[in-house]
Amino acid sequence: MSKDERAKPVVMLTIANNAEKTLRRCIDSVLDQKCESLLYYVCDNGSADGTRSIINEYAENDTRVVPILCKDNCWRLIELVSTILLEHEDGYFAVLDADDEYKPGFLEKMLAFIRENDLGLALCGSDDVNADTDELCSRKELGYDLVLTGKSFLTEYLNYRRYIYDFWGKLYTTPTLRRAYIDYCRSNVWFAGIGRNFELFNYSVLKSLKRAGVLGESLHKHYVYPDSQSTRFFPGRIEASVSVYYTALEFLTSFGEVDSVTQDYLYAVYLGQINEVMERLISSDLSLAEKRSYMSHIFSHPLTNEMMAHEAGIQFRNLSERHKFKTEMEKLIAAGGA
């Protein structure tokens, strides 16, 4: 590796809001990475606890830490990413949530992978960890390295799709990220409070590059909280899932005709997201009338009707049982949604 390549900045970002209990673990996992040119932006997004003092403490003791201090919860992640990118024309970029951590070797292995294969984006696996017990709930890990280029973005979709629906566990090249942000802004798509935004953004990333890759190892820990924002119901969730479906389909068809298995998979993913929405809706504080109305909206949506009428194979269990699922939901609606 050349001296110029080593000198390219590796920029990382964490946005923290009332994260004093987990922030030190997060920051330490970044600062302990082996990297000669690390620059770490840590944003206090209007915290009311000791988050800001922790950030200032690290910034005073380590010049790699650059504090960003806000009076209120004013920054959306993708917007802050774009602001930071204005300062960096070349290099690499990664994000870490304030309650998560990267495993040792994340940057070292991901940088080697991205450089050796001339990638615009490298992805890795992730562990879901119970935040209360520190027990491993599940591990997303491919088990082998996968390099994507040209039509393999279509043929390998079932193998890499689950690695693109969030922002963590990734190392982007800065030029790729800049191009993707412009494309994403032009799409004018944002669903407030709903986690599908990062998946939509990552399709803009994929469209902007020629080569991407999945490193076959899990190098990230995601801590799961029972009452996190991702488990709550927000109006617009089904519209976000519809947008993801059509964005994915448009991306895939740019490489050729989508085969029956991939089409079934797209429907199965959409149906799985409907199931998630239903679970959150049923446990929400909405009135019975509001729950019934939104359930009816979901099952009368044109894409839902299209998915239900599709002649699917048996490869994806939830899709094979979709009519049973709909019947159960209809019974639930009739019973009052409780």
Write down the pLDDT at residue 274.
93
Structure confidence by residue, pLDDT tens digits, 252-286: 999 999 999 999 999 999 999 999 888 888 888 88
CATH number of 3-230: 3.30.470.20, 3.40.50.880, 3.40.309.10, 3.90.550.10?
A: 3.90.550.10
Average pLDDT, the chain: 88
Other residues' Cβ atoms within 10 Å of the Cβ of residue 26: 23
Whole-number pLDDT of residue 103: 97
131: Cα within 13 Å, side-chain hemisphere: 14
**Of residues 190 and 294, which shows the higher confidence score?**
294
Contact between 125 and 105 under an 8 Å Cβ cutoff? The reply is: no
Q: Domain ranges for the chain, please list them.
A: 3-230, 232-334
pLDDT of 216 > 50? The answer is yes
CA 240 to chain centre: 14
122 near 171, Cβ under 8 Å? Answer: yes
Beta strands at 170-173 and 121-130: parallel, antiparallel or unpaired: antiparallel
Assess contact for 174 and 85: CB atoms under 8 A: yes
- Read off the pLDDT of each residue in 195-219 and give the average, rounded to a whole number: 91
Whether residue 338 is predicted with pLDDT greater than 60 in this model: the reply is no
Q: For residue 8, what pLDDT band results from cuts at 50, 70 and 90?
A: confident
Q: What are the CA-CA distances from residue 195 to residues 28, 167, 185, 237, 273 (Å)?
A: 26, 10, 17, 9, 11
Q: Is the pLDDT of residue 192 over 50?
A: no
